[in-house]
Chains A and B, each alone.
Chain A
Amino acid sequence: MRRLGRLLPAVIVIALLLVVWQLYSTLGNVGNDLLPAPTRVASAGWADRSSLWDNFLPTVREVALGFAISLAFAFLLSILLDRSQTVRRALTPVLIGSQTLPIIVLTPLVVIWFGFGLAPKILLVALVTFFPLLVGLLEGYASTAREAMTLMQTMGAGWWTTWRLVRLPSALPSFFTGLRISVTYAVVAAIFAEYAGAELGLGIYMQSAKNSFRTDLVLAAVVLCAVLTIALYALTFALERLLMPWYAQSRRAAS
Chain B
Amino acid sequence: MTQIDINSVSKSFPVQGGRLEVLDGVSLGARSGEFVSILGPSGCGKSTLFSLLTGIEAADSGELLVGGEPLSGDDNPFAWMPQNDVLFPWRTVLDNVALGAEVAGGLGRADARARARELLATFELEEFADSRPFELSGGMRQRAALARTVAQGRDVLLLDEPFGALDALTRTDLQLWLEQIWERERWTVVLITHDVREAVLLSDRVFVLGPRPATVRLELEIPLPRPRTLETLADPQVAALEHQLLTALDVGAYRAG
Which residues in A have some Cβ–Cβ distance to B below 8 Å? 145, 147-148, 150-157, 161, 165-166, 169, 172, 244, 246-247, 249-250, 253-254
B35 within 8 Å of A (CB atoms): no
Q: How far is it, in angstroms, between the C-alpha of A152 and the C-alpha of B80 when the chains are bound?
A: 10
Given the known inter-chain contacts A154-B76, A161-B103, please indicate yes or no for A147 contacting B56, CB distance below 8 A: no
Would you give the shortest CB distance from A252 to chain B, in whole angstroms?
Answer: 9
Q: What residue in chain B is nearest A151 (Cβ atoms)?
A: B86
Given the known inter-chain contacts A150-B82, A155-B100, A161-B103, please indicate yes or no for A249 contacting B134, CB distance below 8 A: yes
Q: How far is it, in angstroms, between the C-alpha of A165 and the C-alpha of B76 when the chains are bound?
A: 21
In the bound complex, residues from chain B placing their C-beta under 8 Å from that of A154 are 54-56, 76, 78-80, 104
B88 within 8 Å of A (CB atoms): yes
Mask of B51-69 contacts with A, CB within 8 angstroms, 1/0 = 0001110000000000000
Would you give the shortest CB distance from B249 to chain A, in whole angstroms?
Answer: 26
In the bound complex, residues from chain B placing their C-beta under 8 Å from that of A161 are 103
Q: Are A147 and B84 in contact (CB under 8 A)?
A: yes
Q: What residue in chain A is nearest B158 (Cβ atoms)?
A: A154
Q: Are B86 and A147 in contact (CB under 8 A)?
A: yes
B118 within 8 Å of A (CB atoms): no
Query: Ordered nearest first, which 7 A-B pairs have the shortest CB separation?
Result: A155-B104, A250-B134, A154-B80, A154-B54, A253-B134, A155-B103, A169-B90
Would you give the shortest CB distance from B222 to chain A, in whole angstroms?
Answer: 27
In the bound complex, residues from chain A placing their C-beta under 8 Å from that of B133 are 250
B183 within 8 Å of A (CB atoms): no
Q: Are A166 and B54 in contact (CB under 8 A)?
A: no
Q: Are B88 and A155 in contact (CB under 8 A)?
A: no
Q: What residue in chain B is nearest A145 (Cβ atoms)?
A: B86
Q: How far is it, in angstroms, between the C-alpha of A96 and the C-alpha of B55 when the chains are bound?
A: 39
Q: Are A153 and B56 in contact (CB under 8 A)?
A: yes
With A152-B103, A154-B76, A156-B76 already in contact, 8 other A-B pairs whose C-beta atoms are closer than 8 Å = A145-B84, A150-B82, A155-B103, A155-B104, A156-B74, A156-B104, A166-B88, A246-B134
Q: Are B56 and A246 in contact (CB under 8 A)?
A: no
Given the known inter-chain contacts A150-B82, A151-B80, A154-B78, please indicate yes or no for A250 contacting B103, CB distance below 8 A: no
Which among A150, A156, A244, A253 is the interface contact of B103 at CB below 8 angstroms? Answer: A156
B135 within 8 Å of A (CB atoms): yes
Mask of B126-159 contacts with A, CB within 8 angstroms, 1/0 = 0000001111000000000000000010000000
29 contacts between A and B (CB under 8 A): A145-B86, A147-B82, A147-B83, A148-B88, A150-B80, A150-B82, A151-B82, A152-B103, A153-B56, A154-B56, A154-B78, A154-B79, A154-B80, A154-B104, A155-B80, A155-B100, A156-B104, A157-B103, A161-B103, A165-B88, A165-B99, A165-B103, A169-B88, A172-B90, A246-B134, A249-B132, A250-B132, A250-B133, A250-B134
Would you give the shortest CB distance from B93 to chain A, in whole angstroms?
Answer: 12
In the bound complex, residues from chain A placing their C-beta under 8 Å from that of B84 are 145, 147
In the bound complex, residues from chain B placing their C-beta under 8 Å from that of A165 are 88, 99, 103
Q: How far is it, in angstroms, between the C-alpha of A100 and the C-alpha of B99 when the chains are bound?
A: 44
B164 within 8 Å of A (CB atoms): no
Q: Are B78 and A250 in contact (CB under 8 A)?
A: no
Q: Are A246 and B132 in contact (CB under 8 A)?
A: yes
Would you give the shortest CB distance from A159 to chain B, in whole angstroms?
Answer: 13
Would you give the shortest CB distance from B84 to chain A, in whole angstroms?
Answer: 6
Would you give the shortest CB distance from B94 to chain A, in whole angstroms?
Answer: 14
In the bound complex, residues from chain B placing their C-beta under 8 Å from that of A155 are 79-80, 100, 103-104, 152
Which among B55, B74, B79, B89 is the interface contact of A246 at CB below 8 angstroms? Answer: B89
Would you give the shortest CB distance from A71 to chain B, in whole angstroms?
Answer: 20
Would you give the shortest CB distance from B73 to chain A, in whole angstroms?
Answer: 9
Q: How far is it, in angstroms, between the C-alpha of A254 and the C-alpha of B84 when the chains are bound?
A: 16
Would you give the shortest CB distance from A23 to chain B, in whole angstroms?
Answer: 51
Would you give the shortest CB distance from B145 to chain A, in whole angstroms?
Answer: 9
Would you give the shortest CB distance from A155 to chain B, in whole angstroms?
Answer: 4
Mask of B103-129 contacts with A, CB within 8 angstroms, 1/0 = 110000000000000000000000000
